[in-house]
Structures are given as structure tokens and as C-alpha cells.
């Protein structure tokens, strides 16, 4: 059977009606209607005229003309036709009416009416089952309008034999569309950096756009660090922030904290308000308020030359009492007055809640104990040339690159989120200020590259920020390995809302996981395919011969434009771009380094230009740019390690839960067991790695090294808790009979009375204690009742225990 080539083209994109008929068409229809009725009249006239001509002599001779009072043939024919007597006698045989004479004008009028009716008939267009298709070159016209900016690959084209053509035609992409922001989704190894981000940065440098790049693969010069060479080769300004290096320019992260609004802005970035309040929302609000007050107080402290996150960390590590004293005795009266109500509120909290709140804040800023990071985030007096003035750069006449290089190892485990969030806040603040002073838009288009977006943690108001930045000539380029990463940080509902504000999605189908592949297939839509059904059969004829019958049926059916199965075999250098106004674009994104020498890789048309720019080594450009601002990072004086101070606070917090404490039998140290389930694992791995604690069944062992870090006070508390263990066991045993009193002893006889930092136990009950524990108390008689009174070195939450 010969093959047949069948081509199906969609008639319409939707089942719509044709536009309303024009005035001339309606006028013609009206005239044709009049003409039709006129043709009916003409047909009747012709019939009776012919009849009158033939029948008039008969009517005149027979006297019917005189009887009907007819004066002429036409009148006589009409009156005779409608007179039953005359018509029966006269209109017979050769004198019957010739009706065929009337058909000719009526047929002409009917034809004219049909033409008019066709002109005004409203027709419905046909619709294919699915109308999705890959965009062709002619479909990309909407992307050519306006200034071009950004890179989304080369148009995918094939030869007549179906083989892919070499990439030649760059997909147009306007700045207005790019300002709708872009999301890149693909698993590891897909080429997000070398096939998408590097060409975008190269084109930004060539087009005169500014860029801000977060590089977590620093100091690897083969990744986003190549942007340093691109911008230097094109003569643009290059600024670097590498806070973990000995030399770096400075970004003062607490900038703006001298105002109440600025301090609150910083605090809300780090302790954001949730859309859905949780059970711990009360304590989160207190934590946010404490952070706001501390930032405002430090930023307005005359004795603090340069407010910094490290100074804030040191103040937090001093503990709740010293924090309250610092705020209450602040040199500025407005600070004391503004923070008074908060100090009163925090003073009424339980001791363990205060310690837990300060530990939570300390955990956010512990990274800033690094001297290099602290120097790179502090505005040092007399070294203003080292500070990166973002607002000035954004208002400048020249495009620039701000390269932020942070090694992944320094921020793993979420400990770098505070740093990234503060940097992000500083950038957003500068953009809004610069745009406001320039009429609402930046002078140069700015692209912000947020590679590995989940590393930033939860960024409050990100959805609103994306919508706001669009009109200020700012585009965000966000990369994700999968949408599950976004759900883990933002929750499904909020992440989907944020993702919905991003207009352009670039995905490598071969590197999507099964869930994202199904989602992306649905996003691309449905197309129309021809379904072929084939049936074969036959029957034996009367002559004993077999008659063979073959039936082939072609039917238009709906199918996905790109199925999940097809994604698994999708070429690795091909991607799909989804952007408003055009059909999905199938593009080729060659690796930027591919210059034709690598076997099996598609050469990139810009590879030679890239090689030319890389004559300027990225590392040398980075060092040169750094030296423009600062010769060497200030060396901070050695102080107590922040982890040591935090460990002492952690020990106090653990003891406040009233665990079982016992001296280790075979080595120096203390075993802490029977810990509450909600204690949390913050910093436990850090303590283990430093050899301060060891895991034992049911708890931890505070080692000899840990005792030295905890200090004399910490060791004294552990020793006291070990001696008082039987006392706490007795209290837990009789907790149903215990009475909590804030003032005097209750009048009723209670075996156990808990009074702030004092524990009263009836003498007959205290006799159950071993001598070692009983020696910790003092016998007293009150109202004829004998008690043993114990002063608590550690105040646990006994009522809860």
C-alpha cells in the first residue's frame, strides 16, 4: 500500500464566530429580498398576461367578458381565473395557464436572495482537538518589539530529513518580557550555569546591562566567575564582595538600622511574619521585637563606631539579663523610652523562655563570628573607599557588575541564610531608592542572578517584590533543581503564588523529575495528532475463493505536545522556553565553552567571543577589582569564641528542663539523660565535632573538654544538679500535690511548695532523700510545720516537669 502524506492545519485557535457582517453586505441582502418579492410579482404578471392574450377572443365571443365586466385581456384573464364558473368552462385544454412562464423571474430572484443571505450568514469556525504547537520563526514577532535583552538560546530547526540544524537564529527576547523575571528548572548537571547563565551574563555585558551575581561555587573561576572577565573586557565597572577572603570590599549589612523603620525592616527579613500563624507565633513576635530593639539600640549607640552583625551577636550572647540592662541604661533617651514596654514584657517571661529566645537569635548570627566576614560587613570609619555604595552604582552612568562570591561550604546547613537575606535586603533597598530618585526606573537594565534560590531561605514578601521590580527595569533570574525545593522553603500555596508572577520558564525536559515532568507536560498544553486504525479481514466467496478486505481509518485526537515519555529521551542540549504571547519555544542551548573541539557537543556560536573575553583571567580581575576598594581586611582583636559562649548558654538551657544528671563513672564528665523531646538539635553536631559532648543512650555526655568550655559556673551547676537529682525525682513523684506560690507559703498543708528559686519540702517527705541531697537544704519551721528549704542553683520548669 502506498504511503500517503496527510497534513492537518488548524482553522482556528478557538471555537469563535466570524465577525459581524458589514454594512454593504446587509444592504445587498435587503435589496435582494426586495428583488425576490418583485420577481414573484413579475412571474404572476407574465402568467396572466400570456393567459389573457390567448383567452380574450373566447371570452369576447362567449359573452363572459361582458358578464365579468372586463375591458382588456389581462383584466379578463384575472377575473375569469378567480371566477369558478368561468374557469371551469373556459380555462381548459389549450387555454390553461402556462405556469412555467413565472418560474424564470422567480428563479433569478431566489438566486439573488441566496447570494445576499450567504453574505450575512454567521458561520462557526472549526477547532482542532488540541491547538498547542512549537513556535516557528514567524511566531516570535511579539518578542522582537522593544529593546532586546537576555538570552534564551537558539531556535530549534530541522532539515527536510528531520535532522537538527546547527544553531544560527537567536531567539529574540525583549527587555519588557525579561522584566517579568525568569525561572530555570533542571536537575544537577543539566547545564544551568554553562548553557544559560554564562551566555546571559556575556550578553548583558555586551548589551550594556548591569548585573548582580550570587556565586556559591566560588572560588571556582569556570562558573559564574567568568562574568568578571566579560564585564572587564567590555570596559564596565566590576565590584566584588567575597566576605570570607582576606581581601574584600564591604557591604554594611545593618545599614539603615538607625531608624525604627529600618531596624524593623531588618528584623522582619530574618524573622518574617507568616501568612498562616503557627502555635509559636507569640514567641516569634517577641524574637522579632527583641531583634528590632537591639539593632536600633546598637545603631544609635555613641560608643559603637560601626554597627555590625558581629557586635549584635556579642550583645545577644551576653544573655537576657545583660541585654535588659543594656537597653534600660542606653545613652539615648529615645531608645530607652521606645524599648521600655518590651523590656517589661520580656522581664515577665520564664527564664528558660528568655534563654531559648536569645539562643534562637544567636543561631542566626553565629556565622558572623568569623573575623573576615565581620570585617566585610562593617563600615569601618576612615575606610569609606572600601564600601560598595549600591545606590550610587545604580544611579551611575556606566553599567556595572556586582559579584558576590560565597563558598558553599561556608553556608551549608542553612547557617548562611542570615547573610544572604541581609545582602538581598540591602540590594532591594538600594534599587527602590535609586529608581525612586530617577523617576521610577533605573538608568540601566539590571539583572539579578539568584542561582540555587533555596539557599536564600525564606524571603518575606518575595511575591510582591517580584511584581514591584518589573516596572523598575529589574529582572530576577532564579534557578531551581525542582519545585519541591521551593515547597520546602515557602510551602506549596505561597510558592505557587510566587511562581505564578514569573512570566518566563526555561526547563530542560530530560532533567526534570517525574512530578515536575508531569506538571511541565500539562503546562505546554495539548496538540492534535492523527490516530490511525487498521483492520483486516475477509470471507470465502461462493466460488471457494478468499476475498480479503482492508480498512484504514484516520482520526484527529488530542495528545500532549510533549509527553513525559518523550522527555526521557529529549536531547540534553535542547530546552523549552515558555513565555507569554507565543507558543512554547523549543530551543538549542549549547554549552558556552563548546568551541567545536569537544566531540559530541554542539558548538556555541559565541564561543570565540567568550575566549577573547577570557584573556582577562577571572581571578586576576577579581583581585584587581578588590584592590580598588581595600588593600587588606582589618584584623579584629581575638576575643572569646562565640561557640564557647553559646555552649555555656546551651548547658544552662538543657539543665532548665530538669533532666537526670549524673557523674560519669569511667571518665571525667557528666551524663545528662531523660531530656524532653522538644529540646531541639540546634548546634548539637557542632558541639560533637568540637569534642564538647558525646552521644550516649538517652542523652549526652558533657566531656572534660566541654566542662572547660562551660567554665566554673557551668561545672558547678552540673555538680549541683547531680547531687539534687534525687530531690527533683521526689518533686516529680509528688507533682500532683505540689503547690506553686509567688509570695508567702500557702495556708493549706502541702508536701511540696515551689516558690521562685526556693523549694520547700515537708520534713517527713524530705527524710526519703539520701544524705547527700538532704545536705543541700536547711531545716525551718513555719507555723508549727517543719520544712526542708532548698535554694535552687538552677531554676527548672518544675510545674511542667
Question: How does residue 793 score in pLDDT terms, banded at 50, 70 and 90?
Answer: confident
Cα-flanking dihedrals φ and ψ of residue 124, to 5°?
Answer: -90, 135
Kindly report the backbone phi and psi dihedral angles of residue 179, in degrees, each rounded to the nearest multiple of 5, phi listed first. -65, -10
pLDDT of residue 544: 62
Residues above pLDDT 70, as percent of the chain:
89
pLDDT of residue 787: 82
pLDDT of residue 630: 44
pLDDT tens for 645-657 read 778 878 877 887 7
CA dihedral 415, 419, 422, 426 (to 10 degrees): -160
Q: Which pLDDT does position 433 carry in this prediction? A: 92
Q: Of 262-271, 440-449, 661-670, where does the model show the most confidence? A: 440-449
Q: Considering only CA atoms, which of 613, 558, 780, 752 is closest in space to residue 229?
A: 613
CA angle 593, 238, 403 (to 5 degrees): 65
Q: What is the pLDDT of residue 372?
A: 86
Which has more confidence, 574 or 595?
Answer: 574
Residue 682, C-alpha cell as written in the block: 540546634
What is the pLDDT at residue 543? Answer: 65
More reliable by pLDDT, 659 or 579 = 579
SS (H, E, C) 611-652: HHHCCCCHHHHHHHHHHCCCCCCCCCCCCCCHHHHHHHHHHH
Helix axes 704-723, 642-655, angle to 10 degrees: 20
- In this structure, the strands spanning 777-782 and 752-755 are unpaired
- Gap between the Cα atoms of 112 and 106, Å rounded: 10
Considering only residues 294 and 547, tell me which one the structure prediction assigns the higher pLDDT: 294
Structure confidence by residue, pLDDT tens digits, 596-646? 777 778 889 999 999 999 888 888 888 777 766 543 433 434 444 667 777
pLDDT of residue 130: 67
pLDDT digits (tens, 9 = 90+) for 69-104: 888 888 888 888 888 888 787 777 777 888 888 888
Q: How many CB atoms lie within 10 A of CB 304?
A: 14
Residue 646 has a pLDDT of 76
* pLDDT computed for residue 519 by the predictor: 92
For residue 14, the model assigns a pLDDT of 40
CA–CA separation, 772 vs 573, rounded Å?
76
Q: What is the mean pLDDT of the chain?
A: 83
Q: State the pLDDT confidence band at 797, using cuts at 50, 70 and 90.
A: low
Residues 479, 489: Cα–Cα separation, whole Å: 14
Q: Answer for the pair 578, 592: CB distance below 8 angstroms, yes or no.
A: no
Q: DSSP readout, 726-776?
A: HHHHHHHHTTTT-EE-SSSPPSS--SEEEETTEEEEEHHHHTTS-HHHHTT
Give the Cα separation of 682 and 364 in Å (integer).
11
Q: What's the pLDDT tens digit per position in 155-205?
A: 988 887 777 788 889 999 999 999 999 999 998 888 899 999 999 999 999
Residue carrying the nine cell digits 558533657? 702
Q: Which residue has the cell 526606573?
A: 441
Torsion angle of C-alpha atoms 582, 587, 591, 594, degrees rounded to 10: -130
Residues 591 and 193 sit within 8 Å (Cβ to Cβ): no
Which range has the worst mean pLDDT, 42-56, 168-182, 372-386, 785-799? 785-799
Beta-strand runs (E) in 307-379: none
Q: Give the pLDDT score at 149.
A: 93
Least confident of 272-286, 682-696, 774-788: 272-286
The mean pLDDT of 680-700, rounded to a whole number, is 81
Most confident among 44-58, 290-304, 382-396 (mean pLDDT) = 290-304
Write out the three cell numbers for 697. 543512650
The arithmetic mean of pLDDT across residues 719-731, rounded, is 83
pLDDT mean over 741-759: 68
* 111-169 tens-digit pLDDT: 888 888 888 776 555 566 667 888 888 999 999 999 999 999 999 888 877 777 888 89
CA distance 763 to 767: 6
More confident residue, 480 or 61: 480
Q: Which three cell numbers stand for residue 800?
A: 511542667
Amino acid at each position: 500500500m502506498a504511503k500517503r502524506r496527510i497534513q492537518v492545519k488548524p482553522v482556528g485557535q478557538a471555537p469563535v464566530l466570524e465577525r459581524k457582517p458589514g454594512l454593504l453586505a446587509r444592504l445587498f441582502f435587503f435589496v435582494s429580498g426586495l428583488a425576490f418579492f418583485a420577481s414573484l410579482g413579475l412571474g404572476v404578471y407574465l402568467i396572466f398576461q400570456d393567459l389573457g392574450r390567448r383567452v380574450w377572443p373566447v371570452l369576447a365571443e362567449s359573452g363572459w367578458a361582458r358578464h365579468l365586466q372586463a375591458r382588456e385581456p389581462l383584466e379578463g384573464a384575472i377575473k375569469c381565473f378567480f371566477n369558478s364558473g368561468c374557469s371551469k368552462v373556459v380555462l381548459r385544454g389549450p387555454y390553461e395557464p402556462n405556469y412555467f412562464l413565472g418560474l424564470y423571474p422567480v428563479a433569478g430572484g431566489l438566486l439573488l436572495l441566496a447570494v445576499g443571505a450567504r453574505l450575512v450568514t454567521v458561520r462557526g469556525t472549526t477547532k482542532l482537538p488540541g491547538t498547542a504547537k512549537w513556535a516557528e520563526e514567524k511566531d516570535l514577532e511579539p518578542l522582537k518589539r522593544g529593546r532586546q535583552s537576555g538570552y534564551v538560546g537558539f531556535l530549534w530547526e530541522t532539515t527536510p530529513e528531520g535532522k537538527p540544524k546547527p544553531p544560527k537564529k537567536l531567539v529574540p527576547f525583549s527587555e519588557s518580557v525579561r522584566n517579568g523575571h525568569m525561572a530555570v528548572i533542571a536537575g544537577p548537571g543539566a547545564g544551568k550555569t554553562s548553557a544559560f547563565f554564562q551566555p546571559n551574563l556575556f550578553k548583558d555585558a555586551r548589551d550594556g546591562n548591569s548585573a548582580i551575581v550570587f556565586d556559591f561555587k566560588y572560588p571556582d573561576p569556570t562558573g559564574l566567575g567568568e562574568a568578571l572577565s566579560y564585564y572587564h573586557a567590555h570596559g564596565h565597572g566590576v565590584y566584588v564582595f567575597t566576605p570570607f577572603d582576606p581581601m574584600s570590599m564591604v557591604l554594611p549589612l545593618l545599614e539603615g538600622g538607625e531608624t525604627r523603620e529600618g531596624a524593623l525592616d531588618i528584623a522582619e527579613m530574618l524573622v518574617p511574619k507568616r501568612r498562616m500563624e503557627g502555635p509559636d507565633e507569640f514567641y516569634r513576635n517577641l524574637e522579632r521585637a527583641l531583634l528590632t530593639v537591639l539593632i536600633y539600640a546598637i545603631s544609635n549607640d555613641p560608643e559603637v563606631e560601626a554597627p555590625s552583625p558581629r557586635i549584635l551577636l556579642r550583645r545577644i550572647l551576653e544573655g537576657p539579663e545583660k541585654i535588659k540592662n543594656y537597653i534600660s541604661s542606653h545613652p539615648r533617651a529615645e531608645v530607652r523610652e521606645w524599648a521600655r514596654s518590651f523590656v517589661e514584657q520580656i522581664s515577665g517571661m520564664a527564664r528558660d523562655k528568655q534563654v531559648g529566645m536569645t539562643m534562637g537569635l544567636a543561631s542566626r548570627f553565629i556565622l558572623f563570628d568569623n573575623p573576615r566576614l565581620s570585617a566585610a560587613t562593617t563600615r569601618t570609619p576612615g575606610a569609606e573607599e572600601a564600601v560598595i555604595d549600591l545606590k550610587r552604582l545604580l544611579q551611575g552612568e556606566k553599567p556595572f557588575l556586582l559579584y558576590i562570591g560565597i563558598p558553599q561550604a561556608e553556608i551549608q546547613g542553612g547557617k548562611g541564610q542570615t547573610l544572604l537575606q541581609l545582602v538581598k535586603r540591602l540590594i532591594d533597598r538600594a534599587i527602590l531608592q535609586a529608581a525612586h530618585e530617577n523617576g521610577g526606573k533605573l538608568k540601566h537594565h539590571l539583572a539579578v542572578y539568584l542561582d540555587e534560590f533555596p539557599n536564600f531561605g525564606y524571603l518575606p514578601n518575595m511575591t510582591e517584590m517580584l511584581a514591584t521590580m518589573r516596572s523598575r527595569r529589574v529582572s530576577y533570574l532564579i534557578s531551581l533543581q525542582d519545585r519541591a525545593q521551593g515547597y520546602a522553603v515557602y510551602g506549596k500555596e505561597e510558592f505557587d503564588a510566587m511562581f505564578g508572577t514569573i512570566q518566563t520558564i526555561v526547563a530542560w525536559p530530560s532533567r526534570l523529575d517525574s512530578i515536575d515532568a508531569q506538571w511541565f507536560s500539562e503546562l505546554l498544553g495539548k496538540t492534535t495528532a492523527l490516530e490511525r486504525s487498521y483492520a483486516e479481514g475477509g470471507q470465502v466467496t461462493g466460488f471457494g475463493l478468499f476475498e480479503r478486505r482492508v480498512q484504514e481509518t484516520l482520526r484527529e485526537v488530542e495528545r500532549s505536545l510533549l509527553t513525559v515519555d518523550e522527555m526521557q529521551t529529549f536531547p540534553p542540549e535542547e530546552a523549552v522556553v515558555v513565555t507569554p504571547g507565543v507558543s512554547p519555544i523549543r530551543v538549542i542551548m549549547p554549552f558556552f565553552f563548546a568551541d567545536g573541539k569537544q566531540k559530541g557537543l554542539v558548538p556555541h556560536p559565541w564561543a570565540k567571543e567568550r575566549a577573547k573575553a577570557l584573556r582577562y583571567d577571572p581571578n586576576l580581575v577579581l583581585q584587581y577589582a578588590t584592590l580598588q576598594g581595600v588593600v587588606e581586611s582589618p584584623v579584629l582583636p581575638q576575643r572569646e569564641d562565640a561557640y564557647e559562649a553559646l555552649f555555656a548558654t546551651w548547658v544552662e538551657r538543657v539543665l532548665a528542663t530538669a533532666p537526670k544528671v549524673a557523674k560519669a563513672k569511667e571518665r571525667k564528665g557528666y551524663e545528662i539523660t531523660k531530656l524532653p523531646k522538644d529540646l531541639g538539635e540546634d548546634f548539637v553536631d557542632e558541639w560533637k565535632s568540637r569534642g564538647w559532648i558525646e552521644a550516649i543512650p538517652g542523652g549526652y555526655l558533657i566531656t572534660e573538654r566541654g566542662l572547660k568550655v562551660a567554665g566554673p559556673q557551668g561545672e558547678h551547676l552540673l555538680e549541683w544538679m547531680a547531687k539534687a537529682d534525687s530531690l527533683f525525682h521526689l518533686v516529680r513523684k509528688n507533682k500532683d500535690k505540689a503547690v506553686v506560690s509567688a509570695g508567702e507559703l500557702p495556708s493549706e498543708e502541702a508536701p511540696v511548695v515551689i516558690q521562685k528559686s526556693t523549694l520547700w519540702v515537708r520534713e517527713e517527705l524530705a527524710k526519703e532523700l539520701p544524705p547527700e541531697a538532704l545536705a543541700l537544704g536547711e531545716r525551718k519551721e513555719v507555723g508549727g510545720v517543719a520544712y526542708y528549704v532548698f535554694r535552687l542553683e538552677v531554676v527548672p520548669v518544675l510545674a511542667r516537669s
